[in-house]
Amino acid sequence: MAGEQVRKAWRRYDGLPPKAHIVIVIVALMMIVAPFLSAAGSGGAVTTQDSLDPNGFLGLSERSTVPVSRATLVAFDGEDLMDDLAYLACVPASTFYSEEDGVTVTSPLMFYQPTMDSPSDAETALDAGVGIEYLMQDYVTASGSRLSSVTTVDVPRSEAEGMAARWNADQLVMIKGGEAAGTAARIATANWEVARTAVVAVVDPSVSPMDDVVTGNVSGTVPAVGTVGGEFSGSIEPSFHSESSHNFDVGDQYKFVQAVLEWSTPGPFPGLTQRGKELGMHLYQGEIMVALSTEWNAFSGPLDTAQSFVYTPGPWRAAVVFIPTMGFNAPGYDGPSYASRVFEAAQYTITYDLFGGVDMPIPDVPAAGARNARFTLTWEGGRELGLLIRGPSGQEIASAIGGASPGRHELEVAELGNGMYTASVINLDGQAVEADFELEYEWTETMSELEVEGLVGATEAAVLASELNAPLLYATPDGVPGATIGAMDTLGTTDVHLVDLTGNYDRIIKEMGSFRGAGQPGIAITTHRDLDVLISEIADLGQRGREGRQDVVITTLNPWDYWHTNSNAENPQGERWGGRFFGPAAYAAANHGTPVLVTEADPRLSCSNAYHNVYWLRAYAGRSPAPVGAMYLTGQQVVDAIASYGLDGEGMESLLTVAGQFEIGTAWDRALVGATTPGRIGGTPVDASVWISRCNTYPLVIFANPGVDQSIDPHDGKRIVGSRSTRTLGTLRTVEPETEVQMDNPVAFTWACYLYKFNERASEYWGASYQAADGTIPNESPSDHPWDGGTLPDICEDVFEDYSRQAGYGEAESAGYDATVENLN
């Protein structure tokens, strides 16, 4: 039986170099004969063969995954795309699917960046080399304290040799960088001895940033529609789950709605008793919330405003909620007292106004990645007009409502997607009189069609090659480079999957057909020219070895905008045009068994991406809430795009976004909650490659955790706890210093919240208890779990400690920042 397993392993890796044969067969044999060891530790370092059974572990895609003790590093260059294309070529060499055995074989694949000598505090987010060292320490430990090989691409010799020495590598393979086709050819011949099948992607590696300015203008007339409105009054008691609603109708002639909520609550000392007694207002179009008020009465007084574009005329409603927004542990409060309790209902009034206007489609359609857009609205006659710029799904991107220079509005939008945009001009002065206007616009297009088509095709080609266990090579729109021809001859390639979204396939097919002479085997070519079909084909291949689960990986071609950790910094600090995320995204997709959706390749994704980038530039520093309507509309666009590719199966898909916070704005993830299970890997492109490598091999490297195996713990199982302090007459006094405590299976607690027995005290303070969406009430509803003592726990931070203690974990609870970081590391 063991011999047959080894023979299968040999056949499975028959395309790898002889040394790789030996390493993998040895690993396969060790996996077969070594006993399975539990995660509890056996007194020694846990090795690869110790922690895996012969079928590997259940990987990200719910396929069996077999890690091998090697690592690949590609030198990161933020100035051009050669490193990105080299990284793509390394994807099928680092992760591939063995159809014979039904397993994915994987190993870490990272961009390489050396650690910074002495980064400033603001630059710590850019020191990605630290992450490489952290991961590889774990991976080497989990692999039995040595690696079979380290492969580097375009890494200086001294640094490559240093890594191989630190990681106890039996072999160092250094591959020269340079132009894309030659580098890919060298990667292929270094990793395959024979490759009957190869994937060739058509990409122009010489593309450079564009700077094409598009300008235009459009004129129109605001119709003679005056302002109408109405008023509602009512009362509401404090509640965590109920609301008071008022319905109104919006006619077809109206384009904008604004509502103002004013309220009062009884109490003897308004300055004291009104603190945190917060009413809020939500605007609904039908059942969809499109806007909500965000004022806090501690600053604005008892007044809230909500406004929205009229996405759809018809039934609308305004809803009032009365929910606490401030804890009652503010200075001067030891706890709720009768003087500060609020049981009485609040009295409120809602006044709403409807404004007429007109929608003007922008006749020019921006290309994906259009930047620095400017829209200028001018008019005459002393009128008051407003301007909204909206995306293809109707989402409001930017607005100018009031406060303009007489007769002029100017809006700047940092980014536009590839879709039809609309300018909505609103009559704000209430006059039922027409008003003429002119709108001028301009933007700069930074990505050529050739860049988008080539890079999207190459990204998909890398995943396709991984599924086919085939090398990835490159052609250009001008033809097939000699390096690619040479590699196919060396590898004995007879079948080529040609991925060409640029439209040059006829020339390339003809050229490939003339490669081989009489008596030589010809080349059979399968073309992939349609992106939708290619995505479907990769998704079908990715279903092998698992039962129906479909993951989604999304990324962007947007260059990396780097940032500093200084909270006062004007981020982003700048752009690295050659820093891209599509390589790590392809590596993640290859491990998930799914294609990559690149936002620039689909107008729905492109425009949603652009919206979230624009919003996040405004919001990241203060984390201001996103407009609800735009969040819904852009999220729905993304979900529609996923469904159109056949990737929307039963239940919620696991959706991974691979991009930095300014490449796909962070609120993008929140917009997809509910329809998907979203997650993100970001940071720098180097960070992304490291974290994806860690995730791909997580079931292995977790056993290199010193918290699991004390034999590899330099602190012998000790963690820092404390200190404890008290405040006397306003003076903080430490009563118990930090100490080191021996513990098993430590969990680090970092308290960033202040909630403590919330419902127990809120019921007294507010006269209401928090109720979850499923109807359960913490601290009141019964619990079936024996560790809860019959009742659901309250909303209280120390509940986590109680649960971890009952589960057998140690509590590494430290108060100081340095001690917390030390515990985590």
Least confident of 55-59, 142-146, 815-819: 55-59
pLDDT band at 512 (very low <50, low <70, confident <90, very high): confident
pLDDT for 331 beyond 50: no
Three-state SS letters, 549-564 = CCEEEEECCCCEEECC
- Kindly state whether residue 712 falls inside one of the protein's structural domains: yes
Tens-place pLDDT, residues 130-169: 999 999 999 999 998 999 999 999 999 999 999 999 999 9
Task: For residue 363, give the CATH number of its domain.
Answer: 2.60.120.380
The predicted pLDDT at position 684 comes to 98
The predicted pLDDT at position 295 comes to 73
The predicted pLDDT at position 800 comes to 82
pLDDT for 768 beyond 50: yes
pLDDT for 327 beyond 50: no
Burial class (CB in 10 A: 0-12, 13-18, 19+), 253: middle
Q: What is the mean pLDDT of residues 527-553?
A: 91
Other CB atoms within a 10 A radius of the CB of residue 50 amount to 19
Distance of CA 794 to the CA centre of its chain: 32
Q: Are residues 628 and 526 in the same domain?
A: yes
From CA 4, how far away is CA 514, in angstroms rounded? 42
Tens-place pLDDT, residues 677-688: 999 999 999 999
The gap between the terminal CA atoms of the chain, to the nearest Å, is: 43
Token pair of 212, please?
């094409």
pLDDT band at 765 (very low <50, low <70, confident <90, very high): confident
Q: Are residues 411 and 485 in the same domain?
A: no
The predicted pLDDT at position 753 comes to 61
The predicted pLDDT at position 726 comes to 83
Least confident of 168-182, 315-329, 521-535, 585-599: 315-329
Token pair of 707, please?
């918290």
The predicted pLDDT at position 714 comes to 82
From CA 24, how far away is CA 67, in angstroms rounded? 10
Q: What is the mean pLDDT of residues 595-621?
A: 95
> How many distinct structural domains can be found in the chain?
3
pLDDT for 337 beyond 60: no
Other CB atoms within a 10 A radius of the CB of residue 208 amount to 10
Token pair of 230, please?
């109405």
* % of the chain at pLDDT higher than 90: 61
From CA 351, how far away is CA 304, in angstroms rounded? 11
- Kindly state whether residue 25 falls inside one of the protein's structural domains: yes
From CA 377, how far away is CA 395, in angstroms rounded? 19
The predicted pLDDT at position 760 comes to 87
The predicted pLDDT at position 267 comes to 60
Q: Are residues 425 and 504 in the same domain?
A: no
Domain edge (last residue) among 445, 460, 476: 445
Other CB atoms within a 10 A radius of the CB of residue 744 amount to 12
The predicted pLDDT at position 128 comes to 95
Contact 393, 378 (CB under 8 A): no
The predicted pLDDT at position 812 comes to 87
pLDDT for 270 beyond 60: no
Q: What is the mean pLDDT of residues 96-123?
A: 93
Q: Are residues 482 and 438 in the same domain?
A: no
pLDDT for 51 beyond 50: no
From CA 370, how far away is CA 421, in angstroms rounded? 12
Token pair of 180, please?
């894309």
- Kindly state whether residue 202 falls inside one of the protein's structural domains: no
Least confident of 264-273, 393-402, 426-435: 264-273
Least confident of 45-59, 325-339, 533-547: 325-339
Which DSSP helix (H) or strand (E) runs through 212?
strand 212-222
Position with higher pLDDT, 346 vs 55: 346
The predicted pLDDT at position 346 comes to 86
The predicted pLDDT at position 274 comes to 53
Q: Are residues 544 and 566 in the same domain?
A: yes
From CA 159, how far away is CA 176, in angstroms rounded? 14
Q: What is the mean pLDDT of residues 711-738?
A: 84
Q: How many CA atoms lie within 13 A of 179 on its CB side?
A: 14
pLDDT band at 717 (very low <50, low <70, confident <90, very high): confident
The predicted pLDDT at position 605 comes to 98
Tens-place pLDDT, residues 307-320: 999 999 999 999 99
Give the DSSP letter of residue 790: T
The predicted pLDDT at position 195 comes to 97
The chain-wide mean pLDDT, for the chain, equals: 86
- Kindly state whether residue 470 falls inside one of the protein's structural domains: yes
From CA 239, how far away is CA 77, in angstroms rounded? 55
Q: Are residues 101 and 154 in the same domain?
A: yes
Token pair of 652, please?
């919620």
From CA 582, how far away is CA 603, in angstroms rounded? 18
Ramachandran sector of residue 56 (left: φ over 0; alpha: ψ -120 to 50; beta: rest): left
Q: How many CA atoms lie within 13 A of 360 on its CB side?
A: 24
Range with top average pLDDT, 39-48, 231-240, 460-469, 796-805: 460-469
Other CB atoms within a 10 A radius of the CB of residue 180 amount to 29
The predicted pLDDT at position 390 comes to 97
* % of the chain at pLDDT higher than 70: 87
Contact 307, 282 (CB under 8 A): no
pLDDT band at 633 (very low <50, low <70, confident <90, very high): very high
Q: What phi, psi does 36 have (nearest 5°)?
A: -75, 125
Q: Are residues 321 and 435 in the same domain?
A: yes
pLDDT for 787 beyond 50: yes
- Kindly state whether residue 206 falls inside one of the protein's structural domains: no
Q: What is the mean pLDDT of residues 413-440?
A: 97
Question: Which range marks the domain in which residue 274 is found?
Answer: 215-445
pLDDT for 28 beyond 90: no
pLDDT for 211 beyond 90: yes
From CA 88, how far away is CA 183, in angstroms rounded? 11
Least confident of 86-95, 111-120, 269-278: 269-278
- Strand partners of residue 350: 232, 261
Q: Are residues 485 and 619 in the same domain?
A: yes
Tens-place pLDDT, residues 163-172: 999 999 999 9
- Kindly state whether residue 581 falls inside one of the protein's structural domains: yes
Domain edge (last residue) among 640, 674, 702: 702
pLDDT band at 713 (very low <50, low <70, confident <90, very high): confident
Q: What is the mean pLDDT of residues 443-465?
A: 97
Q: Are residues 498 and 590 in the same domain?
A: yes
The predicted pLDDT at position 43 comes to 25
Q: Which residues have a Cβ under 8 Å from the Cβ of 431 and sit 6 or more positions away?
A: 226, 383
Least confident of 17-21, 384-388, 493-497: 17-21
DSSP string, 611-662: HHHHHHHHHTTTTPPPPHHHHHHHHHHHHHHHHHTT---SSPEEEEEES-TT
From CA 45, how far away is CA 811, in angstroms rounded? 24
Q: Are residues 470 and 440 in the same domain?
A: no
Nearest partner of 25 among 46, 60, 49, 50, judged by Cα? 49
Q: Which residues have a Cβ under 8 Å from the Cβ of 773 and sit 6 or more positions away?
A: none
pLDDT for 576 beyond 90: yes
Nearest partner of 401 among 378, 376, 426, 421, judged by Cα? 426
Range with top average pLDDT, 199-208, 542-551, 619-628: 199-208
- Kindly state whether residue 208 falls inside one of the protein's structural domains: no
Q: What is the mean pLDDT of residues 512-521?
A: 77
Q: Are residues 606 and 697 in the same domain?
A: yes
The predicted pLDDT at position 298 comes to 61
Q: Are residues 192 and 108 in the same domain?
A: yes
The predicted pLDDT at position 798 comes to 79
Domain edge (last residue) among 445, 475, 496: 445
pLDDT band at 101 (very low <50, low <70, confident <90, very high): confident
From CA 702, how far away is CA 46, in angstroms rounded? 10
* Helix axis angle, 449-468 to 531-542, nearest 10°: 20
- Kindly state whether residue 209 falls inside one of the protein's structural domains: no
pLDDT band at 20 (very low <50, low <70, confident <90, very high): very low
